[in-house]
Structures are given as C-alpha cells and as structure tokens.
Structure 1
Amino acid sequence: METPKYKLSAWSAFANAKCPRCRRGDLFITGMYEFKGQEMHKNCSHCGLVYEREPGYFYVAMFASYALNVAEMVTLAVAISVLTGSSNPWLYVTIILGVAVALAPFNYRYSRVMLLHWLTPGLHYHPEMSEDKAK
C-alpha cells in the first residue's frame, strides 16, 4: 500500500513561509511580530535545503522589500485622496509613514519568501521531497 503524498499548493507554501523545494519546512523560527525579531532557519528541517544560497544572498531581498514599500505607499496615497479628498501633506505623511512602520516586519519576511520562491533561478518544487521520511 502506497502512502498518500503530501500536497501543499504554491500559494499556501508562500503565504505560510514554507521551504520552496519541499513546501514543508518553515523558513522562520519566530513569528512575524515578535519582540525578539524575526530569525530564519539556516536549513530546511524537512529536506535540508540551505536557505542562504551564497554569502550576502538576502541583500537582494532589499529590492523586493523596496518594491513592496512603494506599492503600499502609492496605494495608500490614492486611498487617502479618494476617501478624504484632503490636500494636507501632513495627513498623507502621517498615515503613510505610520503604515510603513507597521508593515515593516511583513515586508521583511515576505521579501525573503518572494526571493526564495520566485526570484531564485534553479530553485523549484520537488514533490518527491515533500513525502514523509522513512523510519
């Protein structure tokens, strides 16, 4: 009798910050909004993938984080304009900077997840690595 295969969709693995190769191991040790900060695992606990592909690998995630910040700020500026109709620059600055600070942990985490899942050439999902390990 064959054991059922573990299936996890790409979007679910991305949203839950799981390993891009097996979609089972966690990328982060800590939660997104913990006081001690976000800490990543060095390797996948399930398939052993080394997350930092080369020294300085996650510096590229800063560009993804920048893109997320710009998208959030532009969206907020349009929303403030539509909802309030105000031309007071301090209203925009206060709301946009407040939301940018509040979303900084989200941007940090998902810029790294985005880098591993979508922006790393040669790193793909391998369904055979999702299976439970033999005992």
Structure 2
Amino acid sequence: MKTMSLDKTAAHPGAFTSALHAKCPKCREGNMFANPMYGLKGQQMHKNCPVCDYQFEIEPGYFYVAMFVSYAMNVAEMVTFAVGTYILTGSENPWLYIGILLGVSLILSPFNFRYSRVILLYWLTPGLFYDPERVARMKKM
C-alpha cells in the first residue's frame, strides 16, 4: 500500500497576480499601498514593505520615472476611448470627445498612479527579482 507524501513547498505567487494586487515585488506578500485605490484617504504608499522591509523608493526621485509610465498608460486609454467613442457614436463633435476623454482621464487617474508604480517596480527596474526566501530570512533576524 502506498502512502501519500505531502509536498511541503508552497506555490509561489505569480508576478502578474501579485502586480494586479499591488504586492511587494520582492516577497509578493506585503501590500505596496496603505489604502484602497478609490478610497477617501488618498494614494498613500508604504515606504517599506510591511512583510519583508524592502524599501520601495530605491533612490531619491525614483518614482519620477513612474510619471512617464503613467503618461503612456493615459495616452493608450485616450486613444482607446476616442476610437471607441467614434465607433459607437460616429460623431465628430469635438465637445463629445473632450467631455468623454476628460471624464475618463479623471476617473482613471488613481488607477494610473498606482499601476504606473507597480509596472515600474515589477518590470522596468533592472536587478529587482522575486526572492521567495526573503520573508524566512527576515523572520530569523
């Protein structure tokens, strides 16, 4: 009779899922932001990961690059909504486009702020990789 052995290794969270939930890129467990995306308390980001103590702002001014990522996201959203508006309405009235694009830009600005930083940390920072043993090492200290 065979006995079942339990695999004690836990599945590691994927990069896309962790980025979607705005988790720390180093340990993928701690939250990067203290508040919800559309909360009344604003977009407050932790200085360090609450789980592994990784410092998110690698150097002073590091998140200025996130402005360029946010700009690219905003341009992609504007083009998408402008084309979608034209396909759905067929209108060439500039005030329709100004109203829709301004509204979309305002509604998506918290999303762009948060995920421009997440994209910067997860995929645009050289040398920053997931370390599954980081939490265990931090607990031993």
**8 Å Cα contact 1:6-1:130 kept in structure 2:** no
Among residues 66, 73, 76, which one is paired with 1:61 in the alignment?
Answer: 66
> Which aligned pairs between 1:46-125 and structure 2 lie closer than 5 A?
46-125=51-130
Determine the structure 1 residue equivalent to 2:21: 16
| Structure 1 residue identity aligned to 2:114 | R
Deviating above 2 A after TM superposition, structure 1's stretches of 4 or more consecutive aligned residues are: 1-6, 129-134
In the TM superposition, residue 44 of structure 1 has moved relative to its aligned partner by 0.9
1:35-94 Cα distance to aligned partner (Å, 9 max, x none): 121101111112111000000111110000000000000000100111110010100110
Count residues in correspondence: 135
Gaps of 5+ in 2: 1-5
Gaps of 5+ in 1: none
Distance 1:102 1:66 in 2: 15
Determine the structure 2 residue equivalent to 1:32: 37
Larger Rg: 2
| Structure 2 length-normalised TM | 0.89
Distance 1:130 1:7 in 2: 12
Determine the structure 1 residue equivalent to 2:3: none
**8 Å Cα contact 1:6-1:131 kept in structure 2:** no
CA RMSD of aligned residues (A): 2.0
More deviation, 99-108/34-43: 34-43
| Structure 1 length-normalised TM | 0.92
Q: Tell me: higher relative CO, structure 1 or 2? Use CA pairs within 8 A at least 6 residues apart.
A: 1
Report the identity percentage: 57
